[in-house]
Amino acid sequence: MNAKKERELLVAGLEKLLREESKIVEEYRALAEMLESIPVSLLLDWVVIEEEAHHTILSNIIHSLKQTVQTGSETGVDGLETERETMLCWVKRLRLKEQTVVAACRSLKSQASRENRGVVNAFLDALVMDSEKHQRFLLAVEKTVENMIMNRPQ
């Protein structure tokens, strides 16, 4: 199978996922409305916001994959190397900040009152998972940035 066909299949799969995500967010909205007067509904509101973000990101990925023209930067290799090092410093700093968030959330879990422990713990667990997800994204960014010079036509 050629690269064009693989890309078309990926786009089709992502478009199907996008349609499913749209259906799911409507169901979350309905459930959140049913539980509106209960504090736990705030967790469902968060899920709705994340599902909407997934929709936007998936749409952007699909749009990007459909683009056939690749545009490059006008920056020379020396300038790109300087940018690369700056970007890597930012990535490393952000990874450390995400690790700090994880540690803070884990510490706060022990302070939640018994009355609100379920909701608060679920929220803090979700923040930990998000920070771990962000760290995973930053690793992907780091690998891409590290390879910028090697994959650049000279």
- What averages of pLDDT result for each successive group of 10 residues across the chain (154 residues)? 87 93 92 90 90 92 76 52 88 95 91 77 92 95 85 58
Q: So what's the pLDDT on residue 81?
A: 74
Question: Do 84 and 55 belong to one domain?
Answer: no
Single-letter amino acid, residue 96: L
Residue at which a domain ends, from 71, 96, 129: 71
Residue at which a domain ends, from 71, 92, 119: 71
Whole-angstrom Cα Rg for the chain: 21
- Give the whole-angstrom CA distance, residue 74 versus residue 145: 16
Give the number of residues written for the chain.
154
Q: What DSSP state is assigned to residue 92?
A: H
E-assigned strands of 1-154? none
Question: Do 80 and 65 belong to one domain?
Answer: no
Domain of 44 in residue numbering reads as: 1-71
* pTM strictly above 0.85: no
Angle at Cα 144 formed by Cα 81 and Cα 69, nearest 5°?
95
Question: Do 41 and 112 belong to one domain?
Answer: no
Q: How many structural domains is the chain composed of?
A: 2
Question: Do 24 and 86 belong to one domain?
Answer: no
